[in-house]
Amino acid sequence: MRAYVCGRLVSAVPVLFGVSVVIFLLMKLIPGDAAQVLAGPSATREEVELIREDLGLNEPLYVQYGKWLARAVRGDLGRSIELRAPVTVMVLERFKNTAILAGASMLLAVAIGVSAGVISATRPLSLFDRLAMVGALFGNSMPTFWLGLVLILVFSLGLGLFPSNGMYDIRSGGGPVDLLHHLVLPSITLAGVSAAILARVTRSSMLEVIHREYVTTARAKGLGDRRVIWGHALKNAMLPVVTVMGVQLGYLLGGSILVETVFSWPGLGLQLFRAISSRDLPLVQGGVMLVSAIFVFLNLAIDVLYAFLDPRVRYS
């Protein structure tokens, strides 16, 4: 077991390294540079040159990357070019906001998706089941940015029930109730797809396990205790569900930019989008590295969980 975990950890390193190189190269290839942005619309070439030198952008690529890497492994991700603040601080600040949104969406998705899936599995082909599966189909097909706009249209502009943007009401200064109020629409939007997928996976997984257990036990014992079957079935069925949950969490953390755009949620996705637009290389690298690292370790955790529960996997 330990060998497996160590093996996976070790293989994660070159992946992260690769990510940092790719992002570095991409940002360097993008036309336009940070010095230009900093200098502003009315600067002359020489002004831009001065800034460029100040930022060390004229050094050869491998030197620039090397400097970044040397500092990064020590935990110093540099300073944002545009905002001059330390990248680590900025990224973590915004990541917290994205995590709140992703967390709330995950909770919602699990609550709705898994319970719908379980109930559907217990009453296959009933009205509930059919409605739930239609709902899952819709949720799966929904473009998140459209759903967000529609929700804003109906619940914010139309009924005035929920705010249409931001995390806190500036005046009242925050507090958990205010946060929840602001969280409702964006988390519903983000949770849609995940809930749909979870519902379907839970349902199919449960169905398969129930069938197996029921048939086996029925053969062995005659009729078998329903509760035992249920308890057993549920546990076994959860494995693929948990796997999917992990994948979904990764997707939520990394792909929240569309929802953040629609709702002006001050999260990491939005920050990275802006950073790419302003060619703020340190910020982009720092942010992408953080998200990728989380992604990679999340996958790793899922693999380890799988391996733990299913010994066959360890030896493949």
Partner 1 sequence: MIDRTPRSLTSRRGFLRTLGLVASAGLIQACAPAAPAPSKPAESKPAAPAATTAPAAAAPAKPAEAATSAEAAKPAAQTAPAAAKPGGTLVAGWDSDPGALDNNLDRGAVTRTLLHMVYDRIVERDIAVKADLPPFGPGLATSWEVSPDAKVYTFKLRPGVKFHDGTPCDAEAIKFNIERNSNPNHPFYHKAGAGANALGYKDLDKVEVVDANTVRVTHKAPFADFLNVLAFGTYSIGSPTQIQKVGNDEFGNQPVGSGPFKYVERERGVKVVFERNPEYWGGAPALDRFIIRPLPEAVARLTALETGEVDWTNNVHPDSIEKVRANPNLVIELAQLPNTWGYIPNHRAEPTKNVKLRQALNWAVNREALSKDIMKGLAVPSTSPFAPTGTAGHNPNIKGYSFDPAKAKALLTEAGYKGEELRFQIPQGAVGSPFAVQMNEYLQQNFKDVGINVKIEALEAQVMQQNLSNGMPNDVHAYSVGFSVDEMVNLQRHYRSDLVPPNGNTNPGWIENPELDAKLKKALETSNEEERKKIYFDIQQQAVDMAAWVWVVHQKGARAWSKKVQGFVNPNSYMFTFKTVSLG
Partner 2 sequence: MTAVRNRGGDRRLWALIWARLRRDPVALGAAIVLLALAIVVIAAPLTAPRDPLRQEPSIRLSPPLTPGYPLGADGLGRDVLSRLIWGGQISLVVGVVPVLLAALAGVTIGTFSGFFGGRLDNVLMRCLDVIFAFPAILLALAIVATLGPSISNAMLAITVVGIPSFARLIRASVLSLKEQAFVDAARALGAGSGRIVLRHILPNSVSTVVVYGTLEVGKTVVFAAGLSFLGLGVQPPTPEWGAMLADGRQVLAVAPHVSTVPGLLIFLVTVGLNVLGDALRDALDPRLRG
Binding mask 229-268 for partner 2 (x = CB under 8 A): -----------x------------xxx-xx--xx------
Report the partner that residue 51 touches, choosing among partner 1, partner 2, none (CB closer than 5 to 8 A by kind). partner 1
Report the partner that residue 9 touches, choosing among partner 1, partner 2, none (CB closer than 5 to 8 A by kind). none
CA atoms within 13 A on the CB side of 124: 11
**What are the beta bridge partners of residue 79?**
86
**What are the beta bridge partners of residue 86?**
79
* Residue 288 C-beta: closest distance to partner 2, Å: 6
- Alpha-carbon gap, residue 280 to 287, rounded angstroms: 11
Give Dmax (Cα) for the chain.
88
Asked if 185 contacts 148 with a C-beta cutoff of 8 angstroms, the reply is: yes
What value, to the nearest 5°, has the Cα angle with vertex 297 and ends 311 and 18?
115
Q: Which two tokens stand for residue 178?
A: 């205010």
Footprint of partner 2 on residues 100-129 (CB under 8 A)? none
Report the partner that residue 255 touches, choosing among partner 1, partner 2, none (CB closer than 5 to 8 A by kind). partner 2
Class of residue 13 by CB neighbours under 10 A (exposed 0-12, middle 13-18, buried 19+): exposed
* Residue 164 C-beta: closest distance to partner 2, Å: 9
- Alpha-carbon gap, residue 200 to 190, rounded angstroms: 17
Footprint of partner 1 on residues 113-152 (CB under 8 A)? 124-125, 127, 129-131, 133-138, 150, 152
Footprint of partner 1 on residues 228-287 (CB under 8 A)? 240, 243-244, 247, 262, 264, 266, 270-271, 277-279
Asked whether position 31 contacts partner 2 by CB under 8 A, the answer is: yes
Report the partner that residue 145 touches, choosing among partner 1, partner 2, none (CB closer than 5 to 8 A by kind). partner 2
Q: Please tell me whether residue 86 adopts helix, strand or coil conformation.
A: strand
3-state percent breakdown (helix, strand, coil) of the chain, nearest 5: 80, 0, 20
Binding mask 50-79 for partner 2 (x = CB under 8 A): ------------------------------
Asked whether position 25 contacts partner 1 by CB under 8 A, the answer is: no
- Residue 85 or 137: the one with the smaller Cβ distance to partner 2 is 137
Asked whether position 205 contacts partner 2 by CB under 8 A, the answer is: yes
Asked whether position 170 contacts partner 1 by CB under 8 A, the answer is: yes
Report the partner that residue 273 touches, choosing among partner 1, partner 2, none (CB closer than 5 to 8 A by kind). partner 2
Report the partner that residue 197 touches, choosing among partner 2, partner 1, none (CB closer than 5 to 8 A by kind). partner 1
**Residues sharing a CB contact under 8 Å with residue 168, sequence separation 6 or more, in sequence order:** 174, 178, 179, 182
Q: Please tell me whether residue 42 adopts helix, strand or coil conformation.
A: coil
Own/partner long-range contacts of 57-66 (Cβ < 8 Å, ≥24 apart): 57/33, 61/24, 61/28, 64/24, 65/21, 65/24
Q: Which of 258, 247, 245, 251 is nearest to 113 (CA)?
A: 245
Binding mask 48-87 for partner 1 (x = CB under 8 A): xxxx-xx------------------------x--xxxx--
Please identify which residue in 47, 64, 298, 304 interacts with partner 1, judged by CB under 8 A. 47
Footprint of partner 1 on residues 290-309 (CB under 8 A)? 302-303, 306
- Alpha-carbon gap, residue 140 to 147, rounded angstroms: 12
Choices 25-33, 85-93, 109-117, 307-315 (CB under 8 A): range interacting with partner 2: 25-33
* Residue 220 C-beta: closest distance to partner 2, Å: 25
